[in-house]
């Protein structure tokens, strides 16, 4: 099974490539706020995703945590697609939405309507979402996370 997921995430990372949400390094906007985790905060790992970063597991949730410095090519998938998420609609379709869980970290999320995002990046996140949705464990993860986001959004309204 390990080989299956290594191949899956390698393909997902290939699809994202070196694209970022903006046509420039978005970390220059916020001082790379999303890279400044601690032992209790970090980026959610996808099912069976391995990482070279420190992993903190709490209540069945696996987070990759770092001190703001990592080898860019070794970043987990969540880091590569942040601040977006391949959201599963009620009809089972993949769309790309800002990851509302990052609203307190990422100024791109909190100022979403004012930012000109790289459409190529968004297209790639959607393509990755479709790739992952074909796998049962990833489909369940994407769907559960999408419903979690629905709950957060409804609390904000």
Tell me: the pLDDT tens digits for 83-119?
999 999 999 999 999 998 888 888 888 887 888 899 9
Specify whether the CB–CB gap between 95 and 126 falls below 8 A.
Answer: yes
pLDDT of residue 4: 94
Q: How far apart are CA 75 and CA 71, in angstroms?
A: 7
pLDDT of residue 46: 95
Specify whether the CB–CB gap between 72 and 79 falls below 8 A.
Answer: no
Specify whether the CB–CB gap between 16 and 81 falls below 8 A.
Answer: yes
pLDDT of residue 1: 80
Give yes or no for residue 12 having a pLDDT over 90.
yes
Give yes or no for residue 50 having a pLDDT over 80.
yes
Give yes or no for residue 41 having a pLDDT over 80.
no
Give yes or no for residue 157 having a pLDDT over 80.
no
Q: How far apart are CA 96 and CA 127, in angstroms?
A: 10
What is the residue-averaged pLDDT of the chain? 89
Helix 136-156 × helix 119-133 angle, to 10°: 120
**Residue 148, C-beta contacts closer than 8 angstroms, at least 6 positions apart:** 101
State the pLDDT confidence band at 135, using cuts at 50, 70 and 90. Answer: very high
Percent of the chain with pLDDT over 90: 53
Q: Is the peptide bond before 108 cis (omega within 30 degrees of 0)?
A: no
Q: How far apart are CA 55 and CA 51, in angstroms?
A: 8
Q: Which residues pair with 54 in a beta bridge?
A: 65
pLDDT of residue 81: 96
């Amino acid at each position: 099974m390990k080989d299956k997921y290594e191949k899956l995430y390698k393909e997902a990372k290939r699809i994202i490539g070196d694209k970022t949400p903006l046509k420039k390094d978005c970390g220059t906007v916020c001082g790379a706020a999303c890279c400044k985790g601690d032992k209790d905060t970090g980026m959610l790992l996808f099912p069976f995703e391995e990482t070279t970063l420190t992993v903190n597991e709490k209540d069945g949730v696996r987070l990759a945590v770092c001190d703001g410095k990592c080898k860019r090519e070794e970043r987990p998938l969540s880091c590569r697609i942040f601040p977006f998420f391949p959201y599963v609609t009620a009809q089972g379709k993949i769309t790309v939405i800002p990851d509302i869980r990052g609203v307190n970290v990422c100024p791109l999320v909190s100022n979403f309507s004012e930012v000109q995002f790289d459409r190529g990046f968004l297209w790639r996140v959607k393509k990755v979402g479709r790739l992952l949705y074909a796998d049962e464990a990833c489909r369940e993860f994407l769907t559960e996370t999408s419903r979690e986001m629905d709950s957060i959004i409804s609390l904000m309204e």
